[in-house]
Amino acid sequence: MFGLNHCRRFIILTYHRVVSEPDSLRPSQIDSVSFARQMEVLRRYFNVLSLSKAHSHLQDDSLPPRSVVITFDDGYADNVHIALPILKRFGLPATFFIATGYLNGGRMWNDTIIEAIRRTPLNHADLDFLGIDRLSLDDLDCRRKAIMEVIQSVKYLPVQERILNADKVASILMAHSLPTDMMLTDDELRALHSQGMEIGGHTVNHPILTQLSLDETRKEIMHGRDSLAECLGVGIDSFAYPNGRPGKDYQASHVAVVRELGFEVAVSTAWGPVRSSDDAWQLPRVGFTEFRKMHLFLQMLRSYSDPQAARV
């Protein structure tokens, strides 16, 4: 089955959260049991490397076959409480891209929307300010659809407008006491790093870079990097573009900023395996929404030769 030598490419997997148990409101969110099963597959059949090591080996032609990199975006607290023990159990490294503006009690705007819709006592709501006349909240399926609709209507607004609109949604939905412990603290971030995990930049406020001026972009990326470096006492060499779709969420001018700021490697959400010919500051990644072990195993194998085959 492993007759082909794929030593000139590797796969970067993308995660965000690992929750303690399945979330019926967000069925695509991976839970701890499913994540552990995935890690078991990776440990048994693949060579899992840190991002820096994988890219270095790719450049000097010493990359092991079936190499994989595990990455997490944003900086959720469950990364240290749930994902880290599982990674340590299987002896696997990972890289965590942190949006520093949400550390220490912050909450990402999309989580404000998700948790407000989860907690609202209402069966419907009018969100005219978002162009949504009547938001049905009658049952679980309606609430899932509502989450998608509201998030999509807010995602490409400027940073502060996104936050204000998310808070307004929570107020209209009469959703109170939203969680304030969803993101990492500085101590938890240091715990990740002390356990051998790589830490990368992900801006301060997770903006869509195409919505910013280049000066604003530079400040977001630089200040996020510097905050991480100060917290951890190390240089920050890798970066993940927020949302990450080339041409839509970031452009060539933003790549130039990342290079100018001295990052050695950066990742997008373009789909596919990393090849030696790829731009080091725009490496593609792969994400999965199906967690059965054999399905993951087969999809991983296929993605080495056919990027589109990895879609699930």
Span 69-83, pLDDT tens digits: 999 999 999 999 999
pTM of the model: 0.92
Q: Can you give the pLDDT at residue 311? A: 38
Q: What tens digit of pLDDT does each residue of 53-69 get? A: 999 999 999 999 999 99
- Across the chain, what does the average pLDDT equal? 91
pLDDT of residue 303: 66
> Which of the four pLDDT bands, split at 50, 70 and 90, describes residue 5?
very low
Residue range 288-304: average pLDDT? 63
pLDDT band at 294 (very low <50, low <70, confident <90, very high): low
The pLDDT score that the predictor gives to residue 236 is: 98
User: Residue 268 belongs to what H/E stretch?
Assistant: strand 265-271
The pLDDT of 189-193, averaged and rounded, is 97
Task: Summarize pLDDT for 268-293 with one digit per residue, the tens.
Answer: 999 889 999 999 999 999 876 555 55
Q: What is the reported pLDDT for 215?
A: 97
Write down the pLDDT at residue 199. Answer: 98
Residue 235 has pLDDT above 70, yes or no: yes
Cα separation of 211 and 125, whole Å?
Answer: 29
pLDDT at 220 (0 to 100): 98
Token duo for residue 87: 């990674």
Angle 38-39-44 from CA coordinates, rounded to 5°: 100
Give the pLDDT of residue 112.
97
pLDDT tens, residue by residue, 106-156: 999 999 999 999 999 999 999 999 999 899 999 999 999 999 999 999 999
pLDDT of 179 higher than 80 = yes
69 phi, psi to nearest 5 deg: -120, 135
> From CA 35, how far away is CA 43, in angstroms rounded?
12
Per-residue pLDDT of 29-54, as tens digits, reads 899 999 999 999 899 989 999 999 99
Percent of the chain with pLDDT over 70: 90
Whole-number pLDDT of residue 292: 57
Q: What is the pLDDT of residue 296?
A: 66
Mean pLDDT score, 253-266: 98
pLDDT at 306: 56
Query: Is the Cα torsion angle 67, 299, 294, 36 positive or negative in sign?
Result: positive
**Out of 1-5, 115-119, 213-217, 226-230, least confident range:** 1-5
Stated as kind and residue range, the H or E segment containing 165 is: helix 159-172
Provide the CATH topology of domain 9-104+183-310: TIM Barrel (3.20.20)
Any idea how long the chain is?
Answer: 312
Pairwise CA distance, residues 125 & 240, whole Å:
36
Per-domain residue ranges of the chain: 9-104+183-310, 109-172
